[in-house]
Amino acid sequence: MGAFSFGKKISILEAAEIGDMKTVMKKLKREDNLKMRDSNGDTALHCACRNNQIRVAKVLLEAEADANEKSQ
C-alpha cells in the first residue's frame, strides 16, 4: 500500500502509522530511522502497533527494532 504524499516525503514514523510498507522498507535501509522518535517520544514500532499495523510491526522487529523501547 503506497501513501499519497503529493510530493511530500514522509518519515518512517508516518509510514509505519498508516501501514505504508513500501516506504517503511525503503526507510529501513538507513539504520538511524529505527532510532527516530515523534514528538511524543514514540518509535516507528510504537506507531505501527498503536495503529494495528501488524505487518509493519513484524518487519520493524525483523529489522531489530527494540521491542522493549519505552516512549520518552
pLDDT at 1 (0 to 100): 47
Query: Quick check: 44 pLDDT over 80?
Result: yes
Contact call for residues 13 and 44 (beta carbons, < 8 A): yes
The amino acid that residue 41 corresponds to is G
- What residue spans define the domains of the chain? 12-62
What cell does 8 get?
Answer: 511530500
Summarize the confidence of residues 8-34 as an average pLDDT: 92
pLDDT at 9 (0 to 100): 85
What cell does 39 get?
Answer: 514528538
> Where does 12-62 sit in CATH, by number?
1.25.40.20
